[in-house]
Amino acid sequence: MLPKYDKTLDIISSTFKKVRIFDEVPIAECKELAENYIELMIDIEGVLDNLYRIQTHHEYTFTHSLHVAILTGLLGKWTGFTGTMLKDFILSGLLHDIGKVLVPREILDKPGPLTTEEIDIIKLHSEQGYHLLSNCYDVSQEVKLGVLQHHEREDGSGYPFGLKEKDLNICAKFVAIADIYDAMTSDRAYRKKIPPFTAINLMLNQMYGKLDSVICLTLSAKLQNYINPINKQQEE
């Protein structure tokens, strides 16, 4: 288990629940989480293996937000980012799904297939998250755009605006990959998680041209070094 993992999840849970009640983001608490808890986790040896093996009873949105923050920080660190930019990566990963706290729980937690209308409601979360952050003046525009654009794709096939590679925010490119990887390697109400190497291979093969290839290949290379070899053998 990662140090302070459970405590961090508890704080994320209580912080995000405040958004549901007050319709605003307690940004000071989120920045403290990112800088004093999550940023420390990305330096822990074996963090990727730990994220895959962790079992938690928290809401998926809370767990996923923590994992994406850690993964985005890892990807940023591995590609040479430091300082303020790395902090922005982590914070955008933490807040990328903040808009989902405004989505009705019966839709978020639905165990079966979603209707077209329900999918459209969920797709609003990136814009709702950006709106929640719009008045947070001590949050950089990089973080806000990372939240808004994390479902955009390099080939213009994403949402909400169908932006293409040259128009995509750098935080969004990193969060997009962390988001997809963690969703694949986590248990969901409607399916079981898949192993890390299977997930990255699917991402490389099925989403070629949709995700930043350099970031994807960086994640693939690091998985070779940081995931328990026993887990790798079990997938082969």
Summarised one tens digit per residue, pLDDT across range 91-126 is 999 999 999 999 998 998 888 889 999 999 999 999
Helix (H, G, I), strand (E, B) or coil at 155: strand
Query: Is residue 236 pLDDT above 50, yes or no?
Result: no
Closest CA to 56 of 67, 45, 46: 67
* 5-227 CATH pick, 1.20.1420.20, 1.20.1260.120, 3.40.50.300, 1.10.3210.10: 1.10.3210.10
Measured between alpha carbons, how far is 173 from 49 in angstroms, rounded to an integer?
A: 23
Phi and psi at 164, nearest 5°, equal -110, 175
Here the tokens at position 175 are: 């969060």
Cβ contact 71:123 at 8 Å = no
The predicted-structure confidence for 132-155, as pLDDT tens digits, reads as follows 999 899 999 999 999 999 999 999
Can you read off the two tokens belonging to residue 107? 């839709």
Model pTM? 0.93
Determine the Cα–Cα distance for residues 200 and 216; give it in Å rounded to an integer: 8
For residue 140, give the amino acid letter.
S
Name the DSSP letter for residue 188. B
At 158-185, the pLDDT tens digits run 999 999 999 999 999 999 999 999 999 9
The set of residues, in sequence order, having a beta carbon less than 8 Å from that of 104 and lying 6+ positions away, is: 121
165 vs 209: CA distance, rounded Å: 9
SS3 71: helix
SS3 (DSSP) at 164: strand
Residue 23, class by beta-carbon neighbours within 10 Å (0-12 exposed, 13-18 middle, 19+ buried)? exposed
The answer to whether 183 and 64 have CB atoms below 8 angstroms apart is: yes
The predicted structure's pLDDT at residue 14: 93
Helix (H, G, I), strand (E, B) or coil at 185: coil
Q: How confident is the model at residue 52 (pLDDT cuts 50, 70, 90)?
A: confident
Q: What is the pLDDT of residue 228?
A: 54
